[in-house]
Chain A
Amino acid sequence: MARVVVDVMLKPEILDPQGQAVQRALPRLGFEGISDVRQGKRFELEVDGPVDDAALARIRDLAESFLANTVIEDFTVRVDEVAEAAK
């Protein structure tokens, strides 16, 4: 088993009111100097069998058609190396 991580973020030009609400709360918590916060989603996929190029290509298709809506979101796909090394 291996873990593949898909990170999904709103495109930079899309307004993110949740991120803004988080950013505005920071000074109250004593965190200064953070000028912007953007909030996204992280998917952790536990893959049966080897994560070869074919498996990654399939996951990329999945991310593009389902996990992200590419009209408003960007995504990245990567193998979780830490989870791999711990095994």
Chain B
Amino acid sequence: MTARIGVVTFPGSLDDRDTQRAIRLAGAEPVALWHKDKDLKQVDAVVLCGGFSYGDYLRAGAIARFSPVMESLIEQAKAGLPVLGICNGFQILTEAHLLPGAMLGNDHLHFICRDQKLRVENAETSWTSDYRAGQEIHIPLKNMDGRYVADQYTLDKLEAEGRVAFRYLDFNPNGSLNDIAGITNEAGNVVGLMPHPEHAVEPLIGTGRTDGLPFFTSILKKLVNA
């Protein structure tokens, strides 16, 4: 028996297939979920993938947040369902208030696409346990709205509670406060980040390394051992 991990497709999602592929490579079973369908098909975890859901109209993730699938997902995430938001998925999680803060346009106003060095700050979440705290990894980054912002109180709280999960190293690509690339909720089941681990799971593509694969092996281990 293996774990079943759902991947939601919204109109405008781009990386659903890559995410399903990464899940399969890690040894879990990907399950396609549809934005109009409230049914999460009893999956053990969900990934909200990258793209431009609903055209990113209004604000990135703002319309997706009110889709039928999110109604079930918000409720179950609060009850402990592991959820990973990548790029647009991270934006949706902040819009849904499952993660604090908000995402805004890159400070330089350009789309950015590069291999990004990150430091894993928290290796105790459901999605990061196969990393070591302090480990440096290379993951592709590609976005328009990657600037993480939160008020000072929230930033201090995130830092004090070790909830900054990933930080940009060497170069801050979008003006994110405190160089934040990804965060976790208090329980550690909901994690969001801007860079794309699903594009770094095979040596042939992405950064030429497999630095993103531990996201998917972490959750698999957690679910199978549970």
Number of interface residues of B (CB under 8 A): 20
| B 61-92 to A, binary, CB cutoff 8 A, 1 in contact else 0 | 01000100000000000000000000000000
Question: Is A15 in contact with B102, judged by CB distance below 8 angstroms?
Answer: no
A14 close to B (CB within 8 Å): yes
A66 contacts B66, CB within 8 Å? yes
Enumerate chain A residues within 8 angstroms of B59, measured Cβ to Cβ. 69
Considering the chains assembled together, what is the distance between the CA atoms of A66 and B61 in angstroms?
11
The reply to whether the CB of B155 lies closer than 8 angstroms to some CB of chain A is: no
A-B pairs under 8 A by CB, number: 36
| C-alpha spacing A21/B107, complex, angstroms | 11
Residue in A10, A21, A67, A71 with the greatest tally of chain B CB atoms within 10 Å: A71
B223: interface (CB < 8 Å): no
Q: Are B149 and A18 in contact (CB-based, < 8 A)?
A: no
Q: Does A55 sit within 8 A of B, measured CB to CB?
A: no
B55 within 8 A of A: no
Question: Which residues in A have their C-beta under 8 angstroms from that of B108?
Answer: 17
Tell me whether A26 is interfacial, beta carbon within 8 Å: no
Residues of A within 8 A of B149 (CB): 14-15, 71-72
Verify A71–B101 contact, CB threshold 8 A.
Answer: yes
Instruction: Return chain B residues, CB-CB under 8 Å to A71.
Output: 94, 100-102, 149-151
